[in-house]
């Protein structure tokens, strides 16, 4: 391979490996059932916060159904924030892997440098994107669409009451 002036921690392949191994960002690489159980855990924990807030507007003993829907929708927002954060992290890495030129900082003094990847490094990074990152982004997009559909259904149910 040719000389790469980009600091090791700023090289896209290393950024990808670091992201893929991080506690939070590796959630989406887990099997579907484990991934959705993590999201369900976020939803359940956030219910501890949203239920008391919903009960202030909809007393559970008088307006049970609106209380349940408002609590569920509030908790779903937390899941949406998690999905957005996951997507943005993986999208950033995907963009760096796909690009032919890499912007990097040599001395952390915001002295932005640009390095053009040699063809062999570009091809390697492109393969990593196509087979590792793109499926993750698609899973996150599908999960986001499913969550939006569930939230819209909840809003419609709320309005119909």
Residue-wise pLDDT for 89-111, tens only, equals 999 999 999 999 999 987 766 67
At residue 107, the pLDDT reads 73
1 pLDDT above the threshold of 70: no
CB 83 within 8 A of CB 46: no
For 102, which DSSP code?
A: E
- Read off the pTM: 0.92
Mean of per-residue pLDDT scores for the chain? 95
Contact status, residue 29 vs residue 136, Cβ threshold 8 Å = yes
Question: Number of helices (H) and strands (E), helices first, in the chain?
Answer: 5, 2
d(CA 134, CA 65): 40
Question: So where are the chain's domains?
Answer: 8-21+77-160
| Helix, strand, or coil (residue 101) | strand
Burial of 93 (0-12, 13-18, 19+ CB in 10 A): buried
């Amino acid at each position: 391979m040719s000389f790469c002036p980009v600091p090791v921690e700023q090289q896209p392949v290393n950024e990808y490996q670091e992201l893929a191994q991080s506690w939070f960002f590796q959630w989406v690489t887990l099997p579907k059932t484990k991934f959705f159980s993590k999201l369900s855990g976020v939803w359940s924990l956030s219910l501890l916060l949203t239920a008391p807030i919903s009960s202030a507007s909809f007393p559970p003993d008088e307006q049970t159904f609106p209380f349940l829907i408002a609590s569920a929708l509030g908790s779903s927002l937390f899941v949406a924030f998690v999905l957005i954060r996951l997507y943005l992290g993986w999208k950033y890495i995907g963009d760096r892997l796909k690009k032919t030129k890499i912007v990097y900082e040599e001395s952390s003094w915001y002295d932005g440098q640009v390095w053009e990847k040699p063809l062999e490094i570009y091809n390697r990074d492109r393969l990593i994107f196509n087979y590792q990152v793109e499926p993750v982004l698609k899973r996150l997009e599908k999960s986001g669409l499913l969550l939006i559909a569930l939230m819209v259904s909840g809003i419609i149910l709320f309005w119909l009451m």
